[in-house]
Amino acid sequence: MTELVIFDCDGVLVDSERVYCRVDREVFALLGAEFTEAEVVDQFVGSSTEMLTAILEERLGRPLEPDWHAAYKHLYDEALDAELTVVDGVTDVLDALDVPFCLASNGSHASIRRNLTRVGLLDRFEGRIFSARDVTRGKPAPDLFLHAAASMGVPPERCAVVEDSPYGVQAARAAGMRAFGYCGGLTRADRLTGAETVVFDDMRELAGLLAAAAAGC
C-alpha cells in the first residue's frame, strides 16, 4: 500500500524545465561553453547544482568560482516570472489523492518556494518541503527521499515517488521506493524506464496509476 506520495518539483509540479534549459544554454554560451538542447535535457534536467557545475567545468576546461551562478540569477528569475505555469493536470491529481504527499527536490528551499508561489501551489506543500540542502547528497543518491520519508513517518517501501528525470528515478529505486516517471515534459520515456518504474505522459493519469500499483495490477 502507498502511504506517502513524494513529488519532485521542477518538471513535475511546475513546468520550469523548458525555461531552465533555454536559459541554461544562454548562460553557458556566455561562459564560453556551447550545449545543444538535447545535451542540456539529458545532462542537466534533475541534476544538482554540484553535478551541473562539474559538467560545465569539464566542458569549459577550467574551474568556476563557487558562486558563479549568482551573476546570472536575474536571467532565470525574469524568465520564470514571465513564463512559469503549473504542470497541466497537477491540481487535479492533488485534489484526488487520498494519502499524504510531500515534495523533495534537488533545488534550494528558496527556489522551491519561489516557484511554488509563482503558480499558487505553496499552500499545498507548506511544512512538507524537502531540499537536497537538507542532506549530504542530493539525487541520484537516495538520501533526500529517505529523509523525506523519515520526516513524514512512512517506511520507504510504502512511498511512491513522482519524477521526471533519470537522476530522480535512480534515487527512488536506490531508496527502495516505487517510481512513477513522468515523460510529458522534456525527458524521453526511454530515459525513465526500468525496474519498479511506471512511465506515463499525462499527469491526470497519476491517481489511477497509483491505485492500480497499490492493487497489484
Residues 120 and 204 grouped into a single domain = yes
pLDDT (average), residues 16-25:
93
Counted domains in the chain = 2
Domain boundary among 36, 68, 83: 83
pLDDT (average), residues 10-20:
94
Query: If 0-12 CB within 10 Å is exposed, 13-18 middle and 19+ buried, where does residue 136 land?
Result: exposed
Residues 102 and 117 grouped into a single domain = yes
pLDDT (average), residues 91-99:
95
Which pTM was predicted? Answer: 0.91
The one-letter code for the residue type at 65 is E
Residues 114 and 23 grouped into a single domain = no
Cβ count within 10 A of residue 58: 10
CATH of the domain at 141: 3.40.50.1000
Does residue 156 have a cis bond before it (omega within 30 degrees)?
no
Containing structural domain, residue 63: 17-83
- Smallest Cα–Cα separation from 159: which of 170, 146, 142, 168? 146
Mean pLDDT value across the chain: 94
Place of cell 533519470: 166
Residue-level pLDDT at 202: 96
The pLDDT of residue 62 is above 80: yes
| Contact criterion met (CB below 8 Å) for 46 and 11 | yes
Domain boundary among 66, 83, 100: 83
Domain boundary among 30, 52, 83: 83
Residue-level pLDDT at 196: 84
Residues 24 and 9 grouped into a single domain = no
Confidence band (pLDDT; 50, 70, 90) for 47?
A: confident
pLDDT (average), residues 146-173:
97
Residues 119 and 74 grouped into a single domain = no
CATH of the domain at 56: 1.10.150.240
Q: How distant, in Å, are the alpha carbons of 16, 115, 122 from that of 110?
A: 15, 9, 12
Residue-level pLDDT at 46: 81
Residues 114 and 57 grouped into a single domain = no
Residue-level pLDDT at 30: 96
Residue-level pLDDT at 216: 67
